[in-house]
Structure formats: C-alpha cells, structure tokens
Structure 1
Amino acid sequence: MSNALSKAKGFKKSRTGLYVSMATSAFGALGAYKQIKKARDDHDTLRLIDAVVTGAAVVTNLAILYRELKRLGDDDVLLG
C-alpha cells in the first residue's frame, strides 16, 4: 500500500502530473472569471472581492506550477 502512495506522490511531481494540475487550475480560472462577471452584473462588491482573491490564488498557483515545470525541464539535457 505504501508503494501505491509513493507512486501517487511521485505523479504530482512528474511532468504529466504538473500538466494535469495546470489544467485543473485553468478550470479554476474560468470559474473565477464567471464569478467576477456575475458579481459585477449583480453589483455585489463582497462577491467581487471574493472572486478577485480566488483569481489571484489561481494565478499564483499557475505560476508555481510553471516554475516546477521549468525545474523539471532544467534537469532534462535535451530541453536545455
């Protein structure tokens, strides 16, 4: 069982795992965009602030994932 757990943790740090995480974050960005649009239409300031903070978290997460992806690329001789 611990072998399966270590494989799952390793997947998160793999190139494929990072791409899956980035895609998931991109869907989060779409949700935040829709939330911002709805809050602006409803003139709901509190929901707008919540949506902007959520969007900032998504952007930060994507930046971290991109950095991790670049680090994986730095280890690859063929990618330079």
Structure 2
Amino acid sequence: MSALTKAKGFKKSKSGTYLSMAGTAFGAIGVAKRLKKARAEKDTLVLIDATVSAVAIVTGLAILYRELKRLGDDDVLLG
C-alpha cells in the first residue's frame, strides 16, 4: 500500500477522526474567548456570531463522534 493511499485512508480511520475531534475542540477555545469578550463589551452581534459558531462546533463534534462509533473496530490503518 502506497503512502498516498494510506494518507487518503487516514481521514476515515479512528486516528484521523480523533485528530479531527481534537482540531474541532481546539477551535472551541477561540470561540469561548470571543463569547467572553462579547459579553464583557456587550456586543450583541459578536455574541450571536460566537454562539452560532459554538453550536456549529458542538454539531461537528457530534458528527465526528457518530463516525467514530460507526468505525468500531474496523480501523483502516491498523488492518
């Protein structure tokens, strides 16, 4: 199996899903900072934008979790 084929399969593997979840969760840090700043400045528009971003992050994590459950023990890279 070539390195390119392994790299393409990485996104569909457990490891790739965990990495995607970590990246998404890391993005939540920035959103939390924006929420805190918007509340302190009483900026409604930024608060709404950060809230929508937070909902998108939660949804993305839920989708990644579902994909992880779907993968089960059939890991592409370990097999």
Report how many aligned residue pairs link the two structures. 74
Higher RCO, 1 vs 2 (CA within 8 Å, ≥6 residues apart) = 2
In structure 2, the partner of 1:8 is 7
Q: Which structure 1 segments of 5+ residues have no match?
A: none
The one-character-per-residue Cα deviations of 1:57-79 (angstroms, maximum 9, x if unpaired) are 10000000000000011658xxx
Return the TM-score normalized by structure 2: 0.84
> Is residue 43 of structure 2 the alignment partner of residue 44 of structure 1?
yes
Q: Secondary structure at 1:13's aligned position in 2?
A: coil
Q: Which structure 2 segments of 5+ residues have no match?
A: none
Larger fraction in helix: 1
Q: Secondary structure at 1:26's aligned position in 2?
A: helix
Return the TM-score normalized by structure 1: 0.83
Distance (Å, rounded) in 2 between the aligned partners of 1:56 and 1:74: 29
Percent of aligned pairs with the same residue? 67
